[in-house]
């Protein structure tokens, strides 16, 4: 397994270069996150590690210390530039070495990135050397890329275009893949029983409303089902039942229990967690798109799903979808395939499938024995019991610390909820001296996976 370290420059209190309505820290985070998604989804045998995945500040020494400790095979530090007159793209390595591997990495990166930027008339400022910390202190081949100038109006305008961001992402990915000689993933046919995203409605609006009511959704969420069934046929032909279930999942049935973990609510009219074009942290409200009304937000949601599914005519020129990137087209044609693509969790698609079957009334499908409320359940890791939980309303809750400790995660408390690896556990509740939460929420915050639920013996199988 090859390890690639992607360093998104600046962050938090350090905005980096600012100009023409563009902040360097936002652009480089968007590019870095997209590089990780695309490289891991398109190529075999590669793991992408990030210095930061949210808008946080880290010292330079902390960045290189982490990369060195991880034993990464290469490092690419992503930046934007300023003060460059006519603007353009350039790349850097450390001026104190002539390491052949580093030179090879720079050659591949620079060539692939510029080959994609030429069509946008981006100036090639060349391959350079400089005494830069990220390149000097890294123990592996390291290159720093300066991706256009935020204070040059023409470059800033380019950085606001989705297709230019896509070019930067795909150029970095291609350069890294060529240097590491990575193999493209082979496209596999959907497994029997998977659910296609595109197609006619597989349930009625009334079925959708009933499903929403059983999940104790507010009246506004229930009534919005009609808008999905109205808009879906004209937005790529997405099955509205799939999109509506995703709406429920992404918004907690439209915030029936309060705001989302990111601090957004129904006033955003954002049904699926779509971020602004430049992206940002998962728990950063300002990184999420605020739509003018539900019609616009649902249209954006359907367009984003249609793009993932590879619908004819997509990507569209006219869409309210702020992240309508061409490279996403056709990357997830089934609901199952959304796992680790739409959301970080590999089980994301599986959870949606479970709810879609429920919405359809489970017609023609076997129902899995799940247990009765209040029954004890066992949580197992690597064949060993780590703790017991309780089955309540379709969920197994268990002590947060017991599950997190078994997965090597750090547990905390923010005054209202438990945290695991710094992520707020929304479903956590204090009972006596012990905090309980749904097992899946804790496991995924700890970067683990729930791989099975054996209803007959009430056992949850997890893995790291």
Average of per-residue pLDDT values in the chain? 87
Does residue 64 carry a pLDDT above 90? yes
Q: Which residues span the domain enclosing 336? A: 205-359
Q: How far apart are CA 418 and CA 31, in angstroms?
A: 31
Averaged pLDDT for residues 219-237: 91
Name the CA radius of gyration of the chain, rounded. Answer: 23
CATH of the domain at 343: 1.10.530.10
Do 306 and 278 reside in the same domain of the chain?
A: yes
The whole-number average pLDDT for the span 30-34 is: 89
Of 359, 392, 409, the domain-final residue = 359
Instruction: Judge whether residue 391 has pLDDT over 80.
Output: no
What is the pLDDT, as a whole number, of residue 456? Answer: 66
Write b or e for each residue in 186-199: b if 16 or more Cβ atoms lie within 10 A of its Cβ, otherwise e.
Answer: eeeeeeeeebebbe
Active-site residue set: 146
Residues 101, 137, single domain; the answer is yes
pLDDT level of residue 406 (50, 70, 90 thresholds): very high
Instruction: Identify the pLDDT of residue 331.
Output: 92
Encoded tokens for 440 = 């899946």
Q: Do residue 428 and residue 330 come from a single domain?
A: no
What are the residue ranges of helices labelled H in 345-406?
348-359, 400-406
| Residue 372 binned pLDDT confidence (cut-offs 50, 70, 90) | low
- pLDDT in the model for residue 370: 46
pLDDT at 88 (0 to 100): 96
**Whole-number pLDDT of residue 362:** 31
The answer to whether residue 244 sits within a structural domain is: yes
**How many residues make up the chain in this entry?**
464
pLDDT band at 207 (very low <50, low <70, confident <90, very high): confident
Regarding whether 246 and 100 lie in a shared domain, the answer is: no
Alpha helix ranges (H) inside 336-447: 348-359, 400-406, 439-445
Structural domain includes residue 100: yes
Percentage helix, strand, coil for the chain under 3-state DSSP, each rounded to 5? 40, 25, 40
Same structural domain for residues 320 and 268?
A: yes
pLDDT band at 19 (very low <50, low <70, confident <90, very high): very high
Q: Could you tell me if residue 265 is inside a domain?
A: yes
State the CATH number of the domain containing residue 65.
3.40.630.40
> Are residues 118 and 220 located together in one domain of the fold?
no
Do 304 and 421 have their domain in common?
Answer: no
Has residue 185 been placed in a domain?
Answer: no
* Mean pLDDT within 372-384: 78
Share of the chain above pLDDT 70, in %: 92
Contact by Cβ (8 Å): 111, 172: no
User: What does the pLDDT average to over 428-436?
Assistant: 77
Q: How many helices (H) and strands (E) does the chain have?
A: 14, 18
In whole angstroms, what separates CA 406 from the centre of its chain?
A: 25
- CA max distance for the chain: 69
Residue 367 in any domain: the answer is no
pLDDT of residue 373: 52
**pLDDT score of 192:** 37
**Do both 74 and 216 map to the same domain?**
no
pLDDT-derived band at 342 (thresholds 50, 70, 90) equals confident
Q: What is the pTM of this model?
A: 0.53
Mean pLDDT in residue range 174-185:
93
Query: Is 191 a member of any domain?
Result: no
Q: Is residue 195 assigned to a domain?
A: no
- Do 313 and 275 reside in the same domain of the chain? yes
User: What integer is the mean pLDDT of 382-391?
Assistant: 85
- Averaged pLDDT for residues 35-54: 89
pLDDT of residue 9: 96
> Is 34 in the same domain as 144?
yes
Within 10 angstroms of residue 338's Cβ, the number of other Cβ atoms is 25
Q: Which of 315, 334, 359 is the last residue of a domain?
A: 359
Does residue 351 or residue 10 have the better pLDDT?
Answer: 10
> Structurally, how many domains does the chain consist of?
3
In a domain, 235, yes or no: yes
Examine the fold and report which residue of 163, 180, 197 is the final residue of a domain before the chain moves on.
180
pLDDT of residue 366: 29
Q: Same domain, yes or no, for 106 and 229?
A: no
Question: In terms of domains, do 226 and 327 share one?
Answer: yes
Give 283-340 pLDDT, tens digit per residue. Answer: 788 889 999 999 999 999 999 999 999 998 999 989 999 999 998 999 999 998 898 7
300 closest CA partner among 311, 316, 287, 285: 316
Which residue, among 367, 352, 358, has the nearest Cα to 196 in the 3D structure? Answer: 352
DSSP string, 169-204: HHHHHHHHHHHHTPPBPPPPPPPTT--BSBSS-SS-
pLDDT at 392: 62
């Amino acid at each position: 397994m090859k390890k690639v370290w992607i360093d998104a420059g600046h962050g938090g209190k350090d905005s980096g270069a600012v100009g023409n309505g563009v902040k360097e820290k936002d652009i480089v985070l968007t590019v870095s996150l997209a590089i990780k998604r695309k490289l891991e989804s398109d190529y075999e045998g590669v793991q992408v590690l990030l210095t930061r995945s949210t808008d946080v500040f880290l010292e330079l020494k902390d960045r290189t210390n982490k990369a060195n400790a991880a034993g990464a095979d290469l490092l690419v530090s992503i930046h934007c530039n300023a003060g460059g007159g006519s603007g353009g793209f350039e790349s850097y390595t450390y001026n104190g070495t002539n390491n052949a591997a580093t030179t090879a990495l720079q050659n591949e990166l620079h060539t692939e990135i510029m080959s994609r930027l030429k069509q946008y008339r981006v100036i090639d400022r060349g391959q350079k050397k400089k005494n830069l910390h990220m390149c000097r202190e890294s123990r592996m081949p390291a290159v720093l890329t300066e991706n256009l100038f935020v204070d040059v109006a023409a470059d800033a305008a380019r950085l606001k275009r989705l297709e230019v961001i896509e070019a930067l992402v795909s150029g970095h990915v291609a350069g890294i893949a060529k240097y590491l000689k990575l193999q493209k993933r082979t496209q596999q046919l959907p497994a029997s029983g998977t659910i296609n995203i595109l197609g006619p409605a597989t349930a009625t609006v009334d079925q959708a409303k009933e499903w929403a009511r059983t999940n104790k959704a507010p009246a506004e969420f229930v009534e919005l089902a009609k808008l999905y069934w109205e808009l879906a046929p004209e937005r790529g032909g997405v099955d509205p039942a799939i999109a509506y279930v995703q709406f429920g999942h992404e918004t907690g049935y439209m915030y029936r229990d309060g705001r989302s973990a990111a601090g957004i609510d129904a006033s955003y009219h954002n049904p699926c967690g779509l971020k602004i074009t430049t992206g940002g942290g998962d728990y950063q409200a300002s990184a999420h798109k605020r739509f003018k009304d539900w019609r616009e937000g649902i249209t954006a949601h359907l367009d984003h799903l249609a793009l993932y599914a590879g619908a004819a005519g997509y990507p569209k020129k006219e869409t309210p979808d702020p992240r309508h990137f061409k490279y996403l087209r056709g990357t997830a044609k089934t609901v199952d395939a959304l796992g680790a693509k739409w959301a970080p969790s590999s089980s994301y698609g599986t959870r949606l499938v479970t709810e879609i079957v429920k919405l359809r009334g489970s017609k023609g499908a076997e129902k899995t024995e799940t247990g009765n409320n209040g029954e004890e359940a066992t949580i197992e890791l690597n064949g060993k019991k780590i703790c017991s939980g309780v089955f309540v309303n379709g969920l197994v809750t268990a002590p947060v610390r017991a599950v997190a400790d078994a997965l090597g995660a750090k547990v905390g408390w923010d005054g209202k909820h438990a945290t695991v690896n710094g992520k707020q556990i929304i479903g956590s509740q204090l009972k006596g001296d012990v905090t309980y939460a749904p097992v899946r929420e804790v496991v995924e915050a700890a970067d683990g996976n729930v791989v099975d639920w054996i209803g007959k013996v009430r056992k949850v199988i997890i893995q790291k």
